[in-house]
Amino acid sequence: MTTTQQASRNSTRIEALPDVPAIRITRDFEAPVERVFRAWTDKDLFQKWVGPRSIDTTIDEWDARTGGSWRYTSRRDGEQWGFYGSFHEVRPDERLVQTFTWDGAPDGVSLETMTFEDLGSGRTRTVGLSVVESFEIRDMILASGMDTGVVEGYEKLDALLA
Amino acid sequence: MADQLSQVFAALADPIRRDMVSRLASADATVGALAAPYDVSVQAVSKHLKVLEGAGLVSRSREAQRRPVHLEAQVFDLMTKWIERYRQQAEERYQRLDAVLAEMDGSGQETKDGAAS
């Protein structure tokens, strides 16, 4: 079980839904569901993968319980960005619902629902659904450079783009 | 840029329009030829074409009498770049998670306890 094999085997699928201002990201992992869930909710494990090495991320607040809150700051080359939100629901090994706000746009909030599915044989599928307020904001996110990720969903278009 | 992206997404939200686009990828076609496989009027197809034209996805030659519809491939290049950049960012993040999960393998409890400091 090597990281390289995992990387080539499990690719990230992104869809921008045509009828709701939402982005859905699907990814499989070579680890049992409880481990994947823990990597998502344990403060120090989360910090290890949240951002690239070039960005220094400090977790300022992390209370991964239903009703808890979180906040982290990312810094690079003297610039910094803050992100915060709440843990709306923490249902171990199944479902994680959070709100997400970038403090540069405090009126904006997205609702992030992660579902964790046990695929058996020590594998897990995660589906992340981010819902924002409007299609304009969704498309701005697509065109901006935030690391939320995006699109596809258009099967015919997939073939065209290939 | 974001405006055009929104228009492109809206234009492609319709299954007939997506199908038209995928057929135009192989060759230019007249409105009549484009309409042929669908159970809708030529007028309805013209309407769909207007939306695609508005988003910059297709163009129609003014000179040629048949006025064939042409796919503007560079718009897709733009979309491909955006989509691929976002997909890559998500993929990179998840590859970091892959590495964290591999580290947790067998020593998960230790990682968790050590994290308290």
Best of A12, A30, A54, A96 to mutate (most B CBs within 10 Å, chain B):
A12
Distance from CA of B78 to the nearest CA of A (A): 10
Nearest to B100 among A19, A49, A135 (CB): A49
pLDDT in tens, B2-46: 566 677 777 877 778 888 887 887 789 999 899 999 898 889 999
Task: Kindly report the pTM of this predicted structure.
Answer: 0.65
pLDDT in tens, A13-39: 888 777 788 888 999 999 999 999 999
- DSSP 3-state assignment of B22? helix
Give the model's confidence band at A149: pLDDT under 50 very low, under 70 low, under 90 confident, else very high: very low
Nearest to B100 among A2, A14, A39 (CB): A39
Q: Is the pLDDT confidence value at A88 over 50?
A: yes
ipTM tops 0.95 = no
- The rounded percent of chain B whose pLDDT value lies above 70 is 75
Compute the half-sphere exposure of residue B16: CA atoms within 13 Å on the CB side of its CA.
16
Query: Would you state the pLDDT for residue B3?
Result: 65
Give the model's confidence band at A139: pLDDT under 50 very low, under 70 low, under 90 confident, else very high: low
**Contact residues on chain B for A51, CB-CB shorter than 8 A:** 93
**Contact residues on chain A for B80, CB-CB shorter than 8 A:** 161
CA A115, A120, A121, A122 dihedral sign is: positive
Nearest Cα to A113, choosing from A93, A135, A88, A145?
Answer: A88
How many domains would you assign to chain A?
Answer: 1
CATH number at residue A45: 3.30.530.20
Query: Would you state the pLDDT for residue A158?
Result: 36
Report how far Cα A22 is from the mean position of its chain's Cα atoms.
13
Query: Would you state the pLDDT for residue A15?
Result: 80
Domain of residue A141, residue span: 3-161
- Say whether B86 and A142 touch across the interface (CB within 8 A): yes
pLDDT in tens, B65-101: 778 899 887 776 666 666 667 777 888 889 999 999 9
Q: How far apart are CA A145 and CA B101, in angstroms?
A: 26
Distance from CA of B89 to the nearest CA of A (A): 6
Q: How far is CA B109 from CA A59, A91, B101, B105, in A?
A: 21, 20, 12, 10
Any B CB within 8 A of A122 CB: no
pLDDT in tens, A47-71: 989 887 778 889 999 999 999 999 9
| Mean pLDDT value across residues B107-111 | 47
Query: Would you state the pLDDT for residue B17?
Result: 87
Nearest to A139 among B9, B13, B97 (CB): B9
Query: Would you state the pLDDT for residue A151?
Result: 32
